[in-house]
Amino acid sequence: MTKTIRNYINDQWQESVGGHLESVPNPATGEEIAKVPISTAEDVNLAVEASKEAYKTWSLVPVPERARLMFRYLHLLNENKQELGDIITLENGKTLKDAHGEVQRGIEVVELATSTPNLMMGDALPRIAGGIDGSIWRYPLGVVAGITPFNFPMMVPLWMFPLAIACGNTFVLKTSERTPVLAERLVELFYEAGFPKGVLNLVHGAKDVVNRILTHPDIEAISFVGSEPVARIVYETGTKHGKRVQALAGAKNHATVLADCQLDKTIEGVIGSAFGSSGERCMACSVVVVTEDIADEFIDELTKRTKVLTVGDGHNDQNFVGPLIRESHKERVLGYIDDGVRSGGKLLVDGREKGDQVGAGYFVGATLFDHVTQEMKIWQDEIFAPVLSIVRVKDLDEAIEVTNASPFANGAVIYTSSGKSAQTFRDRIDAGMVGVNVNVPAPMAFFAFAGNKASFFGDLGTNGKDGVQFYTRKKVVTERWF
């Protein structure tokens, strides 16, 4: 059944002013599940106005009271876990197992936000000079906006508004127009927890909404997560308009496999990381760099296990690979597979046919290329799909060289039983998030999350102490009393 989604501004569900509706399909079937408003600059203006008004009182609410409301929100999210995960599978397509994993990761950020009284605490030093004391105080910024991607409809919005709001800010959220359904429940549960009106506002839409957020004079800071070209625009335009911006971008994550790895666990890990969530994860493994001394054995076994991966609707527990988000994305991915073949990659597992066999929906099966080189587009670009490339190298040095040659630097993983190799890898690799025998090294919420190079534009990542610093402004006070 199709539902018409609305914006939530100043405690009211409302239609967009002058926007139009766009159809949202279930990616597993192509059937319409909702209509989303593609809102206008005017809608953003209204949301900012409401946020600005709410900030006047919300910023004065004592920190422990803000944290107490966050505890209630945490409780409600936990109570509604099942429903939240089911909605993710419906609108995004990822399997129920992946969706419920995402729900948990999102909830962990709300757990972090409940400890804001500790996290926001400043610093003080008495007697910095004769009769003078020094201290640092943290204050909220004002109105903050968040712009999120389709691939984590729950976790990524929760990276942003709970911590920002717990720090005393008010928030305008724009989730992806391709996965707008879950946001409605996140907002409903938020207000059920008892937060005052106007603290969190939701504006659905696309480019026009983002452009207004980037230039609106009353927005102090912007958190963005999405593709690299858009992240670049958001960072450049937002900072040009005087805003604090953190823009987390695309990725091309490499996993290094050495001969002394635990082969069975490594293959299982690579498969989960490369093909789980249909490869539509910013931390997905998309290139395996394997040393020649183990390459044949590793690749034979990886090929065997990739061939038997099932493809289909994520609601069915038997399926490992769900659909891609849209038909247009599937076409783009098929173009990359064609290009990989044309440019000389050896196609060991071809997911094209398996994807087409599923029927309606936007499916591509797990796909594996060997003998990939740095000249090929399948090595260079983020494909964001269950397409894994293998690069053969002679040793660890060359593996690090290949990984560091990518313009992206989000996550990187090494599989080895050598402490020395792991140490060398950690010291010399460019990635912002590093895994040692860990398949998807996404940090837990109390650590910061951000990549390097073209995977991140900004200074402070999301979550952890970085998140609190991003959403607060410091004042350093030097005082003397006569």
Hey, which residues are catalytic here? Answer: 282
What is the total count of residues that contact ligand NAD (CB under 6 A)? 28
Residue 206 or 294 having the CB closest to ligand NAD: 206
55, 58, 73, 150: residue in contact with ligand NAD (rule CB under 6 A): 150
| Spatial distance between the Cα atoms of 2 and 34, rounded to a whole number of angstroms | 5
Q: Which stretches of 169-262 are DSSP H helices?
A: 181-192, 207-215, 228-240
| Interface region with ligand NAD, contact rule CB under 6 A, candidates 52-60, 204-212, 255-263, 393-401 | 204-212
Instruction: Please check if 384 is assigned to a binding site.
Output: no
Name the minimum Å distance from CB 321 to ligand NAD. 17
Indicate whether 362 belongs to the interface with ligand NAD (CB under 6 A): no
Name the minimum Å distance from CB 304 to ligand NAD. 29
CB burial of residue 71 (10 Å; 0-12, 13-18, 19+): middle
Indicate whether 251 belongs to the interface with ligand NAD (CB under 6 A): yes
| Spatial distance between the Cα atoms of 152 and 282, rounded to a whole number of angstroms | 10
Indicate whether 176 belongs to the interface with ligand NAD (CB under 6 A): yes
Secondary structure (H, E, C), 12-41: EEECCCCCEEEEEECCCCCCEEEEEEECCH
| Spatial distance between the Cα atoms of 287 and 253, rounded to a whole number of angstroms | 6
Residue 315 or 326 having the CB closest to ligand NAD: 326
40, 151, 169, 246: residue in contact with ligand NAD (rule CB under 6 A): 151
CB burial of residue 276 (10 Å; 0-12, 13-18, 19+): buried
Residue 222 or 282 having the CB closest to ligand NAD: 282
- What are the angstrom distances between the C-alpha of 379 and each of 113, 169, 294, 429? 38, 41, 21, 17
Residue 182 or 225 having the CB closest to ligand NAD: 225
| Interface region with ligand NAD, contact rule CB under 6 A, candidates 48-56, 91-99, 131-139, 150-158 | 150-158
Binding mask 398-437 for ligand NAD (x = CB under 6 A): ------------x---------------------------
Indicate whether 249 belongs to the interface with ligand NAD (CB under 6 A): yes
Instruction: Please check if 369 is assigned to a binding site.
Output: no
> Long-range contact list for 101-108, CB < 8 A, 24+ apart?
102/152, 102/154, 102/155, 103/77, 103/154, 103/155, 105/155, 105/442, 105/445, 106/77, 106/152, 106/154, 106/155, 106/157, 106/158, 107/74, 107/77, 107/78, 107/81, 107/158, 108/444, 108/445
In 258-407, the DSSP E strands lie at 285-291, 346-349, 367-370, 387-393
Indicate whether 273 belongs to the interface with ligand NAD (CB under 6 A): no
59, 135, 227, 237: residue in contact with ligand NAD (rule CB under 6 A): 227
Indicate whether 367 belongs to the interface with ligand NAD (CB under 6 A): no
Instruction: Please check if 447 is assigned to a binding site.
Output: no
The one-letter code for the residue type at 33 is I
Residue 168 or 276 having the CB closest to ligand NAD: 276
Rg value, the chain, Cα? 23
* Minimal CB distance residue for ligand NAD: 226
| Spatial distance between the Cα atoms of 192 and 76, rounded to a whole number of angstroms | 8
Indicate whether 384 belongs to the interface with ligand NAD (CB under 6 A): yes
Indicate whether 45 belongs to the interface with ligand NAD (CB under 6 A): no
Place of tokens 């983002």: 210
Report residue 62 as tokens.
Answer: 């004592």
Indicate whether 146 belongs to the interface with ligand NAD (CB under 6 A): no
Residue 87 or 156 having the CB closest to ligand NAD: 156
Residue 200 or 233 having the CB closest to ligand NAD: 233
Secondary structure (H, E, C), 45-75: HHHHHHHHHHHHHHCCCCHHHHHHHHHHHHH
Neighbours of 270 (CB within 10 A): 24
Q: Residues, the chain, total? A: 482
Name the minimum Å distance from CB 255 to ligand NAD. 16
- Closest listed residue to residue 219, CA positions, set 170, 262, 161, 267: 170
Name the minimum Å distance from CB 177 to ligand NAD. 5
Indicate whether 147 belongs to the interface with ligand NAD (CB under 6 A): yes
Binding mask 24-43 for ligand NAD (x = CB under 6 A): --------------------
93, 106, 180, 250: residue in contact with ligand NAD (rule CB under 6 A): 250
Instruction: Please check if 178 is assigned to a binding site.
Output: yes
CB burial of residue 253 (10 Å; 0-12, 13-18, 19+): buried
Indicate whether 207 belongs to the interface with ligand NAD (CB under 6 A): yes
Residue 185 or 453 having the CB closest to ligand NAD: 453
Report residue 284 as tokens.
Answer: 């997905």
Please give the angle made by the CA atoms of 128, 131 and 135, to the nearest 5 degrees.
45
Indicate whether 113 belongs to the interface with ligand NAD (CB under 6 A): no
Instruction: Please check if 382 is assigned to a binding site.
Output: yes
> Which residue positions form the known binding site?
150, 174, 177-178, 382
> What is the contact surface with ligand NAD in residues (CB under 6 A)?
147-152, 156, 174, 176-177, 206-207, 210, 225-227, 230, 233, 248-251, 282, 382, 384, 410, 451, 455
> Which residue positions form the known binding site for NAD(+)?
150, 174, 177-178, 382
